[in-house]
Amino acid sequence: MKTALITGACINTGVAIVEKFASEGYNIIFTGRNLENVHAAEREYREKFPDVQIVGYHIDSLLDERTVDEESVEKLFAELDERGIFTETLVLNAADQGLGQKIFKNPLTDLMRVINTNVVWNYCLSEHAAKRMKENGGGNIVFINSNTAYRAIPDRVAYVASKGGQLGLMRALALDLGKYNIRVNAVLPGMIKTDRWEKNPEFYKSVPSRFTPIGDVAVGADIADAVYYFAACAKNTTGAELVVDGGNTIQLYPIIPDRN
Ligand SMILES: NC(=O)c1ccc[n+]([C@@H]2O[C@H](COP(=O)([O-])OP(=O)(O)OC[C@H]3O[C@@H](n4cnc5c(N)ncnc54)[C@H](OP(=O)(O)O)[C@@H]3O)[C@@H](O)[C@H]2O)c1
């Protein structure tokens, strides 16, 4: 049985990714920052998928804004080694959204926090996972990136920069790890219907990225399907980007439907 390690999987898109891989028979290792939430998610997943092994780990990316918690990553992989668990697939879903960070307002440490989590911590996880994949004859890594790596959005300078950097990281890793039979790819969602969507229906009614050629935005399962494609199906694909945004980024401007 294969095992997938999925970060940030107590809520929203991470949950959909866990559910996709568990329903395909993968054993699951997942992470979250809050111990209680990790335990609650673990209970729910085990109830829903009694035939696969599901283990949650409590892990934060940072010691402080300036410092990635590398020791926790080392500890996580050492623990998996001890238990004889090899994660053939690593899904880097967790992200600091860097919401509302404005130029002239936020301190530099806010930018560091986002870049450290979304780029440096993900590099650290990739390095530890790839070491095991190399020893085991191969594996694959999937980044959950964003279409903001292609097109910027307002007041998200750190997030947009981090997702651009993450895409470069994905390509560099794909190049360096190909010879070890390790594939590295990225899914680029546009807007996803998360709990934030459910909590702010009025805001989301008017948000421009809703107006896509397809006429709707993704749900978590759409992202999970794309991740699964890279992990389990796309055996000759590495360094690739799969945009899942209803066609949002191909438009010059959003087509607002006629409301009459
Ligand atoms: N939602 C969208 O519309 C959208 C659009 C484009 C791309 N994406 C990308 O899709 C992925 C999932 O998005 P989402 O909206 O489902 O995410 P989300 O609801 O914001 O959840 C993100 C996860 O990341 C974890 N996380 C945040 N900061 C962390 C840190 N410093 N250390 C460790 N874990 C941390 C959170 O952990 P806790 O649960 O412990 O807080 C949470 O589980 C992200 O990579 C995001 O950038 C999302």
pLDDT in tens, 151-194: 999 999 999 999 999 999 999 999 999 999 999 999 999 999 99
Query: Cβ(189) to ligand 1 under 6 A?
Result: yes
pLDDT at 251: 94
Nearest to 107 by CA among 65, 154, 67, 68: 65
Average pLDDT, the chain: 96
Rounded mean pLDDT, 89-111? 95
pLDDT at position 258 over 80: no
Largest CA distance in the chain: 63
C-alpha of residue 14 to centroid of ligand 1, in Å: 8
Write down the residue that tokens 């991740």 correspond to: 227
CATH homologous superfamily, domain 3-245: NAD(P)-binding Rossmann-like Domain (3.40.50.720)
Q: How far apart are CA 217 and CA 205, in angstroms?
A: 12
pLDDT at 122: 98
Is residue 13 within 8 A of residue 217, CB to CB? The reply is no
Interacting residues of 65 by C-beta distance below 8 A, sequence separation 6+: 109, 110, 112, 113, 116
Query: Cβ(32) to ligand 1 under 6 A?
Result: yes
Tens digits of residue pLDDT in 34-87: 999 999 999 999 999 999 999 999 999 999 989 999 999 999 999 999 999 999
Helix ranges (H only) for 90-219 are 108-115, 122-135, 157-177, 195-199, 201-206
For ligand 1, atom 10, the nearest C-alpha belongs to 144
Q: Taking the CA atoms of the chain, what radius of gyration do you get in angstroms?
A: 18
For ligand 1, atom 7, the nearest C-alpha belongs to 146
Residue type, 30: F
Rounded mean pLDDT, 254-260? 71
For ligand 1, atom 13, the nearest C-alpha belongs to 13
Tens digits of residue pLDDT in 16-36: 999 999 999 999 999 999 999
pLDDT at 82: 98
Is residue 96 within 8 A of residue 118, CB to CB? The reply is yes
pLDDT at 259: 56
Task: Give backbone dihedrals phi and psi of 252, rounded to 5 degrees, phi first.
Answer: -80, -35
Mutate to test the pocket of ligand 1, among 59, 111, 144 (most ligand atoms within 8 A of CB): 144
C-alpha of residue 7 to centroid of ligand 1, in Å: 9
Tens digits of residue pLDDT in 125-148: 999 999 999 999 999 999 999 999
pLDDT at 209: 82
